[in-house]
Chain A
Amino acid sequence: RKEVEQDPGPFNVPEGATVAFNCTYSNSASQSFFWYRQDCRKEPKLLMSVYSSGNEDGRFTAQLNRASQYISLLIRDSKLSDSATYLCVVNMGGGGYQEVTFGIGTKLQVIP
């Protein structure tokens, strides 16, 4: 079983729609969680960190469910510019970088 799992998609949604992605992780001791965005042929960039209480940044909301071991990303009022691959990143353990694991990413395509 992979340590961090994501549905690779693609998710094809119309402009204005709400879309949600989940990411499951296997290590219950995982401590830090993030969503990165990667545009086509570009490098990944941090979108947002995921806190235990959840966090919101404009149209984007990230949630953590420790009991079920998943994090989610909700995008409201989708824009064409949201089309990208969204990478889930989990820090599995005690602070070492070798414990940081990237998911394979979920591809989102927003359609006019």
Chain B
Amino acid sequence: DVKVTQSSRYLVKRTGEKVFLECVQDMDHENMFWYRQDPGLGLRLIYFSYDVKMKEKGDIPEGYSVSREKKERFSLILESASTNQTSMYLCASSDIPPSYEQYFGPGTRLTVT
């Protein structure tokens, strides 16, 4: 059974703080993703990675960076948190195509005050 874990379920940070969200998957998947989910907007892709040290921007990369030093771990970094980054952050992983099924972690509810 695929398992994707995220470092925190709930996080409260102050404006301007540097924030690290970590994601670990245990299925040796090549691809990993970071999304944010907001009411009325659905899931929006921030970044994805198709291999160690490889990354690609998604639809909304501004204000975020990522790191993938090991295959199983994908980190999302908010260099200087802002209130408009308050959201639910979901990490996902998937095997290579043709399987596009994505397995999601439980999510991190981040509040920036």
CB-nearest residue of chain B to A88: B42
Contact B45 A91, beta carbon cutoff 8 Å = no
Q: Which residues of B contact A100 (CB under 8 A)?
A: 45, 100, 102
Known A-B contacts A97-B31, A97-B33; A46 and B43 likewise in contact (beta carbons under 8 Å): no
Q: How far is the CA of A43 from the CA of B92 in the complex (A)?
A: 10
Known A-B contacts A32-B100, A43-B105, A46-B101; A97 and B50 likewise in contact (beta carbons under 8 Å): yes
B44 to chain A, nearest CB (A): 8
Q: How far is the CA of A40 from the CA of B107 in the complex (A)?
A: 12
Q: Is B90 an interface residue (CB 8 A)?
A: yes
Known A-B contacts A91-B100, A97-B48, A100-B100; A43 and B107 likewise in contact (beta carbons under 8 Å): yes
Q: How far is the CA of A69 from the CA of B102 in the complex (A)?
A: 23
* B: interface residue count bin: 20 to 34
Contact B100 A104, beta carbon cutoff 8 Å = no
Q: Which residues of A contact B31 (CB under 8 A)?
A: 97
Known A-B contacts A43-B104, A43-B107; A105 and B45 likewise in contact (beta carbons under 8 Å): no
**Can you show 25 pairs from A to B with CB atoms below 8 A apart?**
A32-B100, A34-B100, A42-B106, A43-B90, A43-B105, A43-B106, A43-B107, A44-B43, A46-B101, A46-B102, A95-B97, A97-B31, A97-B33, A97-B45, A97-B48, A97-B94, A97-B100, A98-B57, A100-B45, A100-B100, A100-B102, A102-B42, A103-B42, A104-B40, A104-B42
Q: Which residues of A contact B (CB under 8 A)?
A: 8, 32, 34, 42-46, 49, 87, 91, 95, 97-98, 100, 102-105
* Contacts A34-B100, A104-B41 supplied; 8 other A-B pairs, CB < 8 Å: A32-B100, A43-B104, A44-B104, A46-B102, A97-B100, A102-B42, A103-B42, A104-B42
Q: Can you list the 8 inter-chain pairs with the closest CB atoms, starting with the nearest?
A: A43-B104, A104-B42, A102-B43, A46-B101, A102-B42, A97-B48, A44-B104, A95-B97
